[in-house]
Amino acid sequence: METITFEAPALYGDHHVSEVRRILLELTGVSDVYASSAFQTIEVAFDPAKIKGEQIEARLQEAGYLGEIPMLVEAGIAVEKVGDDQFFRHTASYETVKTTVSFAQRVDHDARPLWPCPGMGPVKKIDE
């Protein structure tokens, strides 16, 4: 048995821990997976005769857990156009009230959620 450790900056939620364990434990040769959203670390015990470390890394990369998450950042403007018909709405902190104003936004079911979540593909409509 061998152990390989990955830094996973995109592993920021406990639901990601469950998904990483599910993804990796499905691979033949993987015997144990430790994943921590607090430390953003994944440790995998595997049999090198059945699977290579590069294959494990490729699976994590494919699922989106390795590398940085591309995020839109606050630009100091209320609304920013990011596509032909897409806008990113910023929050604003007002000097008069010394607080941040937040908002809610309806997301079309034909696209990804507003907050990027590794391992989650496009949201699909369920026909009733």
pLDDT digits (tens, 9 = 90+) for 12-58: 888 888 889 999 999 999 999 999 988 989 999 999 999 999 999 99
Distance CA 56, CA 38 (A): 21
| pLDDT at res. 67 | 75
CA distances to 3, 55, 83, 92, 113 from 65, in Å:
18, 14, 25, 30, 16
Q: Which residue has the higher pLDDT, 14 or 121?
A: 14
Q: Does domain 2-63 fall into CATH 3.40.50.1000?
A: no
| pLDDT at res. 42 | 94
pTM of the shown model: 0.59
pLDDT digits (tens, 9 = 90+) for 50-80: 999 999 999 998 888 887 766 555 555 555 6
- pLDDT for residue 128 is more than 60: no
Q: Which residue has the higher pLDDT, 100 or 1?
A: 1
Q: With cut-offs at 50, 70 and 90, classify the pLDDT of residue 108.
A: low
Residues of the chain with CATH 3.30.70.100: 2-63
| pLDDT at res. 103 | 53
| pLDDT at res. 92 | 55
